[in-house]
Amino acid sequence: MSSTTPVAETRQDRFERGMEVLTRIDEEAGQKLTDALADVAPELGHQIAAWAFGEIYDRPGLAPRDRQLVTLGMLTAHGGCEHELDVHINISLNLGLTPKEIIEALLHSAVYCGIPKALNATLVAKKVFGERGLLPMTTQ
Amino acid sequence: MSSTTPVAETRQDRFERGMEVLTRIDEEAGQKLTDALADVAPELGHQIAAWAFGEIYDRPGLAPRDRQLVTLGMLTAHGGCEHELDVHINISLNLGLTPKEIIEALLHSAVYCGIPKALNATLVAKKVFGERGLLPMTTQ
Amino acid sequence: MSSTTPVAETRQDRFERGMEVLTRIDEEAGQKLTDALADVAPELGHQIAAWAFGEIYDRPGLAPRDRQLVTLGMLTAHGGCEHELDVHINISLNLGLTPKEIIEALLHSAVYCGIPKALNATLVAKKVFGERGLLPMTTQ
Amino acid sequence: MSSTTPVAETRQDRFERGMEVLTRIDEEAGQKLTDALADVAPELGHQIAAWAFGEIYDRPGLAPRDRQLVTLGMLTAHGGCEHELDVHINISLNLGLTPKEIIEALLHSAVYCGIPKALNATLVAKKVFGERGLLPMTTQ
Amino acid sequence: MSSTTPVAETRQDRFERGMEVLTRIDEEAGQKLTDALADVAPELGHQIAAWAFGEIYDRPGLAPRDRQLVTLGMLTAHGGCEHELDVHINISLNLGLTPKEIIEALLHSAVYCGIPKALNATLVAKKVFGERGLLPMTTQ
Amino acid sequence: MSSTTPVAETRQDRFERGMEVLTRIDEEAGQKLTDALADVAPELGHQIAAWAFGEIYDRPGLAPRDRQLVTLGMLTAHGGCEHELDVHINISLNLGLTPKEIIEALLHSAVYCGIPKALNATLVAKKVFGERGLLPMTTQ
């Protein structure tokens, strides 16, 4: 169901729609997130699902893989978002970005964010790639 | 003694005035801070007490509880300040912000700082609330 | 209507609910925003109204005035958000923060964001206060 | 000539290689940049051409269009980079990102950077699109 | 009078001590600053003079010229602080940093902050150097 | 060999030149870095050596010790760069900045970056100084 549908939805409908999107791109991320927030900030969990994924991520104007390139750029620029980078490097792999493209995007970030932030992000990629058996990368 | 007093003060007077303010809002934070900095940067410890708390924090124009709302916003926006967020979420509770208000402020921060920084800050709140036996939060 | 209502809403319902909230706190901001975005990014305008104001801002857990304190902290910390600070200093005045409280919050920000960002934000406040005939401030 | 060539190059060779890349993606940007820096920081102009474009941008591992998605994310996250956003929104259009994809990427940035930075970046896009006769965008 | 003096000082003493430091490094900056803030935030003006310059800047452990190198790094990293960069590039010249050293520091910043922020800061230096008749720089 | 030499160099020449610079200022940092990146992002390791150290760091216009002052300012301002601060506080000591100058630079950063980032950076300095047997610092 498109986010531009004129159909009326309840809060619960919107949450379920978002969780469906999130689960499609990462089988476990949605459940982990709502579990982590359940006893302290369930509304944040609701909004991440219902809004971030249900309303924005699922829009047709930009391919999911392309969204991940933008996201990798933003999280690298922020600094201090290693956990989110971990999640989003996994999602990027799930959505078809190759390890080589991800590493190249992070090298590219050195130009716009400087070496320290590019290096921090690359070490997160190293951790994720290691966990998924993708190391060593073949010679570039 | 007000910070606008015309009375002359020594460096030591100003330090003690600041420590008094800091200890009033968090019984242990001032001592922990000066201990941590004693062998490496005692002047930074002095300035945090004498200036940040003695000169600025104690001014009458904004209630301590309100200062904490501004501070939670700034630390969330910075990113990478998890330790200071921990200290200031504790101080916020000490000064009368309710857990619900704190969580709501961090949810609000998602609008202005984005989801990743709001999520990071919320997980610090979860840790602090857990340590103080405030979890689970009642249904929002 | 509360954001936690189980009632089903259409996109248009949600937009209207958000615009109502936004217009209540600043008579012109909502219309100006949707006008500015109409020919380039109407969906961003929609989401600012429907999500930021309709879903988050209007929640009961934190008073609107308190939300503005958090927001002033975040926008000051970001830097480079002078336009949004202008809008939000106006909203803060509309919602009952006094000029003195706003200036005190920005002075407080010097402790956590440093002098340059506190100064930049204060000069925006000076502009807004001047436009609203609030200068000179009475002696602090 | 690939950046991984074993062929020896002089500083001048490397500068020319980078200017060729830069001029290919934006006919005027390279010349404008070196002109602006000629009397104050010619080495910065050299490095932007020789390193950023000659060494990094031209690498084969990530398509130029994809690099622009990462770049739009980073510049939006930084804040205060309106001039560079202007240049890179133009380059993005030159390299085949559609106006709709750019606007969607900036809407997406609201999730990760917050509304104020997404809004600032979108207003730069509005300016660039206006200059290039791309407004109004067709209904999304 | 050293900041470590045991002598008691009033608020006014401390303000005057700071203004003396600030005026020594930039003949006009202190007066301009207090004038700009007089009708809106005189306490911020007081603290910039009394604390930033009277307490911190004047300490003997780091030469004023060296402080400016740190400051140029921080302001470039922040982004969105063009006005403060303008002031501090002027102060840097007053304190004996050569134009070449300043430009080299900003080139160096490209490595740690990325090209866009280095470029923004360099264009501020160009403006300041132009106003002081220092352009063109001799060949580097 | 100066970076302004007209002599042609291969990629390998440039890498070796950079590694020589890096090894000169920190005996182990270059090898550790290339080892850490070898299986995931060797090109980033190459560029850090060949560009950051071979092209920029080694330029004659600013003394290595002075470069470190700028770098400490930038890394403190970024936040979230504790690992790089660790490396660069070590390099700063290797290049002749005294512990006292480093601590003073970080105290100075409180004025421009705020207390939290100054505190975070100072705690990294404490760790490095401890590892190098430089604690306690003599009374300031």
Q: Verify that A43 and A111 share a domain, yes or no.
A: no
Question: Average pLDDT, stretch F8-34?
Answer: 95
User: Which helix H or strand E contains B85, and what residues bound it?
Assistant: helix B82-94
CA distance A132 to A115: 25
On whether residue B25 sits in a domain, the answer given is yes
Please say whether the beta carbons of E80 and C120 come within 8 A: yes
Q: Are F49 and F96 part of one and the same domain? A: no
pLDDT, position E118: 98
CB atoms within 10 A of CB F12: 12
Phi, psi of B88 (to 5 degrees): -80, -20
Residues in contact with B112: Cβ distance below 8 Å, sequence separation at least 6, in sequence order: B73, B77, C71, C74, C75, C78, D114, D115, D116
Please tell me which residue of chain C has the smallest CA distance to E44: C107
Do the chains contact at B118 and A44, CB–CB below 8 Å? yes
Burial class (CB in 10 A: 0-12, 13-18, 19+), A96: exposed
Domains of chain B: total: 2
> Is residue C49 located within the same domain as residue C91?
no
Residue D4 lies inside a defined structural domain of this protein: no
Asked if residue A16 is part of any domain, the answer here is yes
A window 105-124, beta carbon within 8 A of F: 106-107, 110, 114-120, 122-123
A56 contacts C47? CB cut-off 8 A? yes
C8 to chain A: closest CA residue: A10
Assign residue B113 the CATH number of its domain. 1.20.1290.10
D1 assigned to some structural domain: no
Residues of chain E with pLDDT under 70: 1-6, 139-140
Phi and psi at residue A63, to the nearest 5°: -60, 145
Residue D9 CB neighbour total at 10 angstroms:
21
Tell me which chain A residue has its CA closest to the CA of residue D60. Answer: A104
E112: chain A residues, CB-CB within 8 Å: 114-116
B55 and B78 inside one domain = no
Q: Which of D48, C101, C114 is nearest to C129 (CA)?
A: C101
Per-residue tokens: D35: 């002109």
Do residue F86 and residue F139 come from a single domain? yes
Contacts A–F by Cβ distance under 8 A:
62
A106: Cβ–Cβ under 8 A, 6 or more apart, which residues? A72, A76, A118, A121, A122, A125, F41, F44
pTM value is: 0.96
Q: Using DSSP, state whether F9 is helix, strand or coil.
A: strand
Question: Which residues constitute the domain of residue B26?
Answer: 10-59
The domain boundary, picked from C41, C59, C77, lies at C59
- The Cα diameter of chain C in Å comes to 53
Instruction: Give the pLDDT of residue F81.
Output: 96
**Considering chain B, what is the average pLDDT of its residues?**
94
How many angstroms separate the CA of residue C31 from the nearest CA in chain A? 21
Residue ending a domain, among D59, D83, D100, is D59
CA neighbor of D77 nearest in space, from F110, E79, F16: E79
Q: Among B52, B66, B77, whose Cβ lies nearest the Cβ of C111? A: B52
Q: For position D5, what pLDDT does the model report?
A: 55
| D53 domain-assigned | yes
For residue D106, the chain C residue with the least C-alpha distance is C44
Q: Give the three-state DSSP class for A2.
A: coil
* Contact between A78 and B103 using a beta-carbon 8 Å cutoff: no
- What is the rounded CA–CA span in Å between residue F9 and residue A32? 51
Interface contact C40-D115, CB threshold 8 A: no
Contact C101/C140 with Cβ under 8 angstroms?
no
Angle at E73 between CA F101 and CA F64, to 5 degrees: 60
For B84, the closest chain C residue by CA position comes to C112
What is residue F98's DSSP assignment? Answer: -
Are the Cβ atoms of E39 and C117 closer than 8 angstroms?
Answer: no
Task: Enumerate residue ranges in chain C where pLDDT < 70.
Answer: 1-6, 139-140
User: F138 and F86 in one domain?
Assistant: yes
**Is C5 inside a domain boundary?**
no
**F85 and F51 housed in the same domain:** no
Please check whether residue E3 lies inside any domain of the structure: no
Q: Is C80 in the same domain as C140?
A: yes
Angle at the Cα of C122 from the Cα atoms of C116 and C128, rounded to 5 degrees: 145
- Per-residue model confidence as pLDDT tens digits over D72-102: 999 999 999 999 999 999 999 999 999 999 9
Q: Do F8 and D12 touch (CB under 8 A)?
A: no
**Do the chains contact at B114 and D116, CB–CB below 8 Å?**
no
Q: Is F92 part of the contact surface with chain E (CB cutoff 8 Å)?
A: no
Q: What does C28-83 look like in DSSP terms, one character per residue?
A: THHHHHHHHHTTT-HHHHHHIIIIIIIIIIT-TTS-HHHHHHHHHHHHHHH-S-HH
B71 and B140 co-located in one domain: yes
Residues of B whose CB is below 8 A from C67: 105, 108
* C86 shares its domain with C130: yes
Model pLDDT for residues F111-120, shown as the tens digit of each residue:
999 999 999 9
Give yes or no for C80 touching D (CB within 8 A). Answer: yes
Are residues F30 and F95 located together in one domain of the fold? no
Q: How far is CA D108 from CA A22, A68, D105, D113, F62, in A?
A: 15, 10, 5, 9, 41
Q: Give yes or no for D4 touching F (CB within 8 A).
A: yes
- Both D81 and D46 in one domain: the answer is no
- Give F84-88 contacts, CB < 8 A, sequence gap 24+: F84/A116, F84/A119, F84/A120, F85/F121, F85/F124, F85/F125, F86/F124, F86/F127, F86/F128, F87/F26, F87/F29
> Given this model, what pLDDT does residue B63 score?
98
Task: Report the b/e string of C71-90 with b at 16+ CB within 10 A.
Answer: bbbbbbbbbbbbebbbbbbb
Residue E59: the pLDDT is 97
Contact E56 F107 (CB under 8 A): yes
Instruction: Give B52-62 pLDDT, tens digit per residue.
Output: 999 999 999 99
A4 domain-assigned? no
User: What average pLDDT score do residues D1-19 get?
Assistant: 82
- Residue F140, pLDDT score: 47
